[in-house]
Structure 1
Amino acid sequence: MQSSPLTLKEQKRIEALKSLNILDSENEREYDDITDLAAAICDTPIAIVSLVDRHRQWFKAKIGIDICEVDREHSFCTHAIENPYEIMEVNDARLDPRFKDNPYTFGDDAIIFYAGAPLIDSDGNALGTLCVIDHKPRKLTDIQLSSLDKLAKQVVKLFKLHAYNSHLKDKETELKETNTKLKNFAGVVSHDMKMPLANMIVTFDILKAKYAKNLDEGGLEYLSNLKQSAFKMSDYITNILAHYESDYITNEAGLHQVFDIHELLENIEEMLDINDNCEIEFPEHNREIKANKIALEQIFLNLIGNSIKYNDKDVIKIKVAFEEDNYNYYFSIQDNGIGIPEEEKKRVFELFSTVASEDRNGNIGNGIGLSTVRKLIFNLGGKIDIKSKVGIGTTIKFSIEKK
């Protein structure tokens, strides 16, 4: 037979089929399992999940047949989708006027028996069929017909899942592209701003040294405020760069090295310029580990730095603990700081989210550090958790995967 004219209904059906993005896709076990079940239940040598395209019938899954598609002109399924709400059963194609001259009804592998359950989407479009075929005349029982119909509905559910996953992959690709553009933009802007800010800071010091005698107390205070603002902006830019460079840091295999934990924490103390009013307790037993040292330093710099900044006690107390098993390293950082309200814990790791109004020195945070910490830990195959009580302190536990 000739393929159906491209009516408005047929055009809509073809568009629905194309939107699935499933034609000519790879084999998938879920579909193969359904054809296996259909053939077993109906006791036929052949079962096919077929999709009826404009000029062809393509097989998404099949058992008992080698070809992957046929011309629609000779397609049995084309007839089946014309009545989408019932199974088309052909007991003997040689006696059916629609198929008696069809080339597939002749030869050793002739299609004599056919039963096709239409695959109908939520808009009523018959996209194809789940069909069973035999080389001899036969008739399905009511139970077999019912089972074939139920299996066809499962195929449609797989179509929906395929379309949803395909949509998610497209969105993921789109988000990655957008994130790359933002990352590149942030990198360019940040690098271009750091040098002018550094020049501004040096200029403030030169102005103060050269013209201090000509400025009153208010003028000197203005200069000091400008300098502090420049420092804050520089720190903000540094944190943005660290956030976007975290992917590179954690993906670089060459950054893994062997070092001991006490050595790492001693370096952190030097970087943070710890004062006498801060006590940091190292893990009782020093251990040698193999990990991404740069990433781990970044994590500890942020977490211990926050324990110091967001602390209202006369003596800041920080305790670092360590454990390990066959798969992960486990760290915890406990402090006696201001704590985090229960309702705020969920958003502390969000980018640009700040919980405390100001730190120990009256400065306002930028909400980048903890977001970077979470990103680094996630990229290292780990998890992070917070337990905190306002006015008492915070304990942050995190893990990283062993390599």
Structure 2
Amino acid sequence: MSIDIKPDPTIEGYKSIFNNSMDAVLLTHPDGTIFYANSAAEKLFGYTQNELCKLGRSGIVDTNDPNLVIMLDERGREGRSRGELTFIKKDGSKFPGEISTNVFKDKNAIAYTFMIIRDITRRKNAEESLKESEERYHSLFKNNHAAMLLIDPDTGKIVDSNPAASSFYGYSREDLVKMNIKQINNLSDSNVYGEMQKSKTFKKNNFIFKHTLANGEIRDVDVYSGPIRVGGKNLLYSIIHDITHRRQMQNEIKDSLDESLRVQDELITLIENIVDEVWFTDAEGNIILANAAARKFQNKNKFEENLTLNKLISKSNVYDSDGSIRLDEGSPLLRALNGEILTNFDETVIFPRGEKQYRQVSSAPIKNEYNKIMGAVAVVRDITKQKKIEESLRISEERLRLAQIRGGVGVWDWNVVTNDLYFTPELEQLYGLDPGTIKTYDDWRMLTHPDDIEKVEEERDSKIANHQPFDLEFRILHDSGDTRWLSARGGAIYDTNGQVKRVLGINIDITNRKKAEEILNTTLIRFYKILSSMRASVLLVTANNNVEFVNQEFCDYFYLNEEPEYFMGYSSLEMTSVIKSAYRNPDEALRRIEEIVRNWKPVHGEEVLMRNGKSCLRDFVPLFIDGKLYGRLWLHLDITERKHTEEELNESNIKLKKEVNDHQITELKLEKMLNELKRSNKELEQFAYVSSHDLQEPLRMVALFTQLLERRYKGKLDDDADDYIKFIVEGAQRMKLLIDDLLSYSRVNTKPSEFNSIEMDKVLDNVLSNLQLTSEENSAEIDIQEPLPTIIGDESQMIHVFQNLIANGIKFNDKDSPKISVLAEQDEDGWIFSVSDNGIGIEPKYQAQIFEIFKRLHEKDKYPGTGIGLAICQKIIERHGGKIWIESKPGVGSIFYFNIPNQK
């Protein structure tokens, strides 16, 4: 049954408008009867207008589309609807279309429906391409100038936002991702959820909402929303446009219109809401109507209110699709006024500020019943976004390719069903292969190190089974024969049944990082060995506040009974609670520790009071490796004994201050005595020389006849006589050594040689030659710095000094292999020489006594000698204008220093 509908004459007046629309336009009855279709509709469906009228709505719409019932219900309730349906062409093919419908009544109260239908196949394909691209590459929405949100459709939680959204809503991104869209949208919670489900299921992609900003202001927004998969999650994207001003304008226009123009208002509203630009001109080229999209174009060019066609085409640079600049007579609207019809004509516009817009224009003349041109109409579609998406995809692909090349990154794609494996050329280059070598998963297995393949597959498959991404490291057999390390990161794509279809990922060459880690581990082991051997207590805490190392000294000093390894892995708080009882004031000690860690500045030599009357010096050292924070090192050095010594010294100082006054009285006497001592000392030196020289002959006689007595009567007298003879022989021999050393001591000043230029390299050669037998017997290692300097001095005395110091380093040594080192360093006054050993060392309280004549620290049966050797060395160094001193630690070794000033 058909209904005889006679449209109102007013409607006829708009047929010419819709006839030139780029979209299909149908004038129908609410029951689906079609009584008018424009040329775009004929082209879209492949039917003539008469055929479309006979078919009706059911002939061109897929009635099984569930959206049809939803849209009809919405239109019945609200008088309009907008959404997507599946349409059928004459050849039977189906395509997705976007449809906008409006119900209105003419002056006779007859209901009509305008339908605007747009083929969105291309857009759907672009959306699908964009969706697939998102699975492989990161989303580009952050760079969009429009406000954009990513929303969880099941909960409404805001997952992400771009900078434009923060700018629009007045919240920071950190605040937005803590919020729910229900806190912004003014709809009820149930309605918000319902709208999200429509967007999630493609039933609706455009919404008009009221959103509340951070400052409490309520804005009207036009929201484009749809499903998107990001990071393996199904989310909704929302692109938000502020239309508050436009809605206000619409409301003002609507309120001012007379009820008699309601039908015309509906038509104008329909045109106003078309996303494409719509322009109308009169016969003279004056623009008489422009919709919202057209006015946006007008605003970009800063047009005045009264706009003529000539001004429109002169404000911007317009180019045809071939890139040539548009002449005035080439404007589609001008050509329409000349009777020409253009469809989907491509052009490019560059606005005054340099912004570029890509456009498709359809234009046609408006004629009256006498076929006279009364004006022109143009419909312009902005395809800039589509162009930019295509260009962005191309640029993204190119950037990804360049990033892979420069970053040593390769991408792979494994089809689990077919076992085909795709390697990008960049990835095959990491393996040292030619492009196209890898074709199957088995090819890859052959190139993976046999010791790693099973572990890699087990870890990867475990992650995939739990729908988790994987991050693995393994070795490959490079084509060059080398073994290299790769990192593999990726995940799986599953079908609707949860079965794995594909596994994708990237590989990064981490060989250099692995080598660096190996070097670092070796360095740390050496570092720990050094810390273990230190006499100070050591505690190393990593940057994540875990104990990495303590030595035995630390455990002993803080009264800990466990072995150092027991505390590895303790948190810093746990370790602090364990050791706090060792402090004299635990609460104050913990407060200071927290302060030091908070300030994060080095602390050196800070005195800390411990329980049981102990004291220590504390060091705090932040540690960095390659510029990155590694941890912090705490050192505690026990100074209890030193503190006691200082207290004793303080008491002595008080006594000394008291005695100073008395000493001042005797200073004059001392000065006189000093002069007398100098004269006496000179005489004594001469006497010592003469005495020691003159004693040589009688001593030889005593030694000789005692030895003869021993050879002749040994064993013939009683045991006591044998012992007495032995004591006399040994005493004579020791007396000879004392006299020889005393003679050497006296000769330093009484029989010196002239100062000359000395090559110290030759001096040490003589010393090593003299000590060769001693060195070999004791397996000594003597390291001499080369080259040594040339100085002014007494060569024989320098030989004596070095020979004595090196011989002492060998003699006073309990190691299997004594190690002696001789160094020289220049300062502003001359040269400082040092002789270091790894011997028994000397306690600090004895170090000042060793240079006294005949001063011995050990029994003569353990370490033979007269105790005059270092006194001779000191006298020689003082003759050369220098001084000699020692640094020593018991059990570690000693370093003897002496300086020789520059001589003229």
**TM-score (normalised: structure 2):** 0.24
3-state SS of paired residue (2:855): coil
Matched, 1:367 2:367: no
Task: Say if 1:248 and 1:169 are closer, same or farther in 2 by CA, change over 3 A.
Answer: same
**Whole-angstrom CA distance in 2 between matches of 1:231 and 1:288:** 39
Trace 1:44-63 onto structure 2 (pairs within 5 A): none
Instruction: Select the residue among 754, 763, 767 that pairs with 1:267.
Output: 767
2:877 maps to 377
**Whole-angstrom CA distance in 2 between matches of 1:229 and 1:199:** 13
**Whole-angstrom CA distance in 2 between matches of 1:200 and 1:314:** 39
C-alpha displacement of 1:216: 7.9
Matched, 1:281 2:782: yes
Unaligned runs of 5+ in 1: 1-162
3-state SS of paired residue (1:320): strand
**Whole-angstrom CA distance in 1 between matches of 2:772 and 2:677:** 36
C-alpha displacement of 1:386: 0.8
Task: Say if 1:397 and 1:236 are closer, same or farther in 2 by CA, change over 3 A.
Answer: same
**Whole-angstrom CA distance in 2 between matches of 1:325 and 1:316:** 29
**Whole-angstrom CA distance in 2 between matches of 1:207 and 1:268:** 39
Per-residue CA distance 1:85-124 (angstroms, 9 max, x = gap): xxxxxxxxxxxxxxxxxxxxxxxxxxxxxxxxxxxxxxxx
3-state SS of paired residue (2:767): helix
C-alpha displacement of 1:257: 3.9
2:859 maps to 358
Trace 1:11-90 onto structure 2 (pairs within 5 A): none
C-alpha displacement of 1:347: 2.0
Trace 1:98-109 onto structure 2 (pairs within 5 A): none
**Whole-angstrom CA distance in 1 between matches of 2:854 and 2:762:** 32
Task: Say if 1:332 and 1:374 are closer, same or farther in 2 by CA, change over 3 A.
Answer: same
3-state SS of paired residue (2:693): helix
C-alpha displacement of 1:388: 0.8
Contact 1:278 1:317 in 2 (8 A): no
2:695 maps to 193
Matched, 1:307 2:837: no
C-alpha displacement of 1:340: 0.8
Contact 2:763 2:799 in 1 (8 A): no
2:851 maps to 349
Aligned partner letter, 1:284: Q
Per-residue CA distance 1:8-29 (angstroms, 9 max, x = gap): xxxxxxxxxxxxxxxxxxxxxx
**Whole-angstrom CA distance in 2 between matches of 1:326 and 1:249:** 31
Contact 1:347 1:353 in 2 (8 A): yes
1:24 maps to none
**Whole-angstrom CA distance in 1 between matches of 2:749 and 2:729:** 32
Per-residue CA distance 1:118-176 (angstroms, 9 max, x = gap): xxxxxxxxxxxxxxxxxxxxxxxxxxxxxxxxxxxxxxxxxxxxx99976653332111
Contact 1:265 1:282 in 2 (8 A): no
C-alpha displacement of 1:267: 3.2
C-alpha displacement of 1:255: 4.1
Contact 2:842 2:894 in 1 (8 A): yes
**Whole-angstrom CA distance in 2 between matches of 1:301 and 1:195:** 28
**Whole-angstrom CA distance in 1 between matches of 2:740 and 2:818:** 26
C-alpha displacement of 1:379: 1.9
3-state SS of paired residue (2:746): helix
**Whole-angstrom CA distance in 1 between matches of 2:690 and 2:751:** 18
**Whole-angstrom CA distance in 2 between matches of 1:271 and 1:312:** 18
Matched, 1:228 2:730: yes
Contact 2:833 2:898 in 1 (8 A): yes
C-alpha displacement of 1:327: 3.9
% identical equivalent positions: 30
Instruction: Select the residue among 130, 150, 170 that pairs with 2:672.
Output: 170
3-state SS of paired residue (1:282): strand
1:391 maps to 891
**Whole-angstrom CA distance in 2 between matches of 1:218 and 1:322:** 55
C-alpha displacement of 1:297: 1.7
**Whole-angstrom CA distance in 2 between matches of 1:308 and 1:217:** 37
Task: Say if 1:280 and 1:194 are closer, same or farther in 2 by CA, change over 3 A.
Answer: farther
Aligned partner letter, 2:683: K
* Larger RCO (alpha carbons 8 Å, 6+ apart): 1
C-alpha displacement of 1:222: 4.8
**Whole-angstrom CA distance in 1 between matches of 2:782 and 2:863:** 26
C-alpha displacement of 1:296: 0.9
Instruction: Select the residue among 181, 189, 208 that pairs with 2:683.
Output: 181
3-state SS of paired residue (1:286): coil
Higher strand proportion: 2
Per-residue CA distance 1:362-382 (angstroms, 9 max, x = gap): 256543222222222122111
**Whole-angstrom CA distance in 1 between matches of 2:723 and 2:672:** 54
Trace 1:331-350 onto structure 2 (pairs within 5 A): 331-350=833-852
Contact 1:262 1:282 in 2 (8 A): no
**Whole-angstrom CA distance in 2 between matches of 1:235 and 1:249:** 19
Higher helix proportion: 1
3-state SS of paired residue (1:381): coil
Task: Say if 1:210 and 1:164 are closer, same or farther in 2 by CA, change over 3 A.
Answer: closer
Per-residue CA distance 1:327-378 (angstroms, 9 max, x = gap): 4222111112221111111222223332x2225x525654322222222212
3-state SS of paired residue (2:834): strand
**TM-score (normalised: structure 1):** 0.51
C-alpha displacement of 1:317: 2.5
2:758 maps to 258
C-alpha displacement of 1:395: 0.9
